[in-house]
Amino acid sequence: MRKRQVVLRRASPEEPSRSSSTASSLTVRGVRYGECQKNHAAAVGGYAVDGCREFMASNGEEGSVAALTCAACGCHRSFHRREIETEVVCDCNSPPSTGN
């Protein structure tokens, strides 16, 4: 019987983008845009964000300008924190190491 092990982790933005596919493992990456970080008080020397928690694309075709605008706060997608989600899937025949 083959065992399947799935490991999820978040990659830092500084980590190089690598995607490998071997006989025993596969790495899948996805991008998610989190809270809005646009400083609305920059003109007066302050710091205030609008509280938008996650990017939601406006109605529009994929790749259009409307699809890059957040439906919740109206900001461009580049103002939202970019999170790279990595999933490593490994088909292993051996049991996981117990560290002994």
31-42: per-residue pLDDT in tens? 889 999 999 899
Identify the burial level of 53 via C-beta atoms within 10 angstroms of its C-beta, where 0-12 means exposed, 13-18 middle and 19 or more buried. Answer: exposed
Instruction: Please give the average per-residue pLDDT across 73-100, as a whole number.
Output: 79
The band of 59, judged by pLDDT with boundaries at 50, 70 and 90, is confident
The band of 66, judged by pLDDT with boundaries at 50, 70 and 90, is confident
pLDDT beyond 50 at 24: yes
pLDDT beyond 90 at 45: yes
- Nearest CA to 29 out of 87, 82, 81 is that of 87
Q: The whole model's pTM is what?
A: 0.56
